[in-house]
Amino acid sequence: MQETRLSTARIRAARRVIDPVFLDTPLYRCEALEPALGCTVSIKLETANPVRSFKGRGTEVVASRLAEQGPRAVVCASAGNLGQALAWSGRGRGLDVTVVASRFATAAKLDRIRALGAKLELVDGDHEMARERAAAIARDDGIRLVEDSLDIETCEGAATIGLELVDTVPSFDTVLIALGGGALATGVGHVVKALAPEAEVICVQPHGAPAMTRSWHKRRVVTTDSTDTIADGVAGRYPIPAVLDDLLVVADDALLVQETSIIAGMRMLLDHAGLVVEPSAALGIAALLEDRDRFAGRHVVTIVCGSNVDMGAYHRWVGR
């Protein structure tokens, strides 16, 4: 495999600093989903932890290094999940955490960030404006800026999911990974291509937030003026060049799915797996729904990456 910014040795080392509460999450075949999808489906459940998303793996690596080396103050921009995870990891290590988010972010995510003791600053624009404000705070206050997907710790923390996949799932053909900033996709993709290269790595993004997928297909950074998707966790507009470079190495394909398919995927995960998930976590199921012929007869792993969802909105989308 061509080189990426990631190191398999560092990924293995990351497991030693991540709180075990985030590790070895449930991984199981979900036969109830298979008749409707036409393939063998295994679920990697990254919601079974205190922050209900995979982001805690990366923030544990970030926080452990800050606790050892400083500075003791840190700021990040977040659509909600990274902020919760950094607040949780920082609280356990005595770090002063500031999270910048859009005031239009999911209320449940913002409430949880506050409850975990982080300072929360809201901006009137979208996530990209939150990134700009977080960078300004870091520059003006001289504190550490954590940039999801750009900071290698966030990618290598997420990559420990890949270690668990290749160590426990026999002969899976495909892994479907939600694609936003790219930490999850590049992390898991790196491990799969290094240790199970016969498996296909496919990234999935909504049509309403296509910047990274378009960039992958064009093999250069493509930005968008806006996003329009319920999957707020993957709704970025400005791909990071270094992350795209890694994604071009590890991803075999990048797909766009419709909002109706995302909602159908959420409903299927509720009805057939008993899982309440946020829209980003249903992207893999959405991809299976939109192209059953492509995945027919395969053993597909989908990473259910988060369940921090506003329940009022969830009921509107999925039905009571």
* Rounded-to-integer distance, Cα 249 and Cα 244, Å: 9
Tokens of 44: 């990697």
Residue of higher predicted confidence among 97 and 168? 97
| Mean pLDDT value across residues 221-238 | 96
pLDDT at 168 over 90: no
The set of residues, in sequence order, having a beta carbon less than 8 Å from that of 253 and lying 6+ positions away, is: 200, 202, 203
| Mean pLDDT value across residues 98-117 | 95
Q: What is the pLDDT of residues 250-267, one digit of tens each?
A: 999 999 999 999 999 999
Angle CA 13–80–105, to nearest 5: 160
pLDDT at 1 over 90: no
Query: What pLDDT does residue 320 have?
Result: 64
* Rounded-to-integer distance, Cα 128 and Cα 104, Å: 13
| Mean pLDDT value across residues 188-215 | 97
pLDDT interval class at 139 (50, 70, 90)? very high
| Mean pLDDT value across residues 1-17 | 95
Query: What pLDDT does residue 316 have?
Result: 96
* Rounded-to-integer distance, Cα 105 and Cα 122, Å: 9
pLDDT at 152 over 90: yes
| Mean pLDDT value across residues 39-60 | 98
pLDDT at 128 over 80: yes
The set of residues, in sequence order, having a beta carbon less than 8 Å from that of 313 and lying 6+ positions away, is: 106, 230
pLDDT at 78 over 90: yes
CA dihedral over 46, 47, 53, 59, signed as positive or negative: negative
pLDDT at 46 over 80: yes
% of the chain surpassing 70 pLDDT = 99
What's the chain's average pLDDT? 96
Query: What pLDDT does residue 39 have?
Result: 98
pLDDT at 71 over 80: no
φ/ψ of 183, rounded to 5, equals: -60, -45
Q: What is the pLDDT of residues 269-310, one digit of tens each?
A: 999 999 999 999 999 999 999 999 999 999 999 999 999 999
pLDDT at 2 over 90: no
pLDDT at 153 over 70: yes
Query: What pLDDT does residue 171 have?
Result: 83
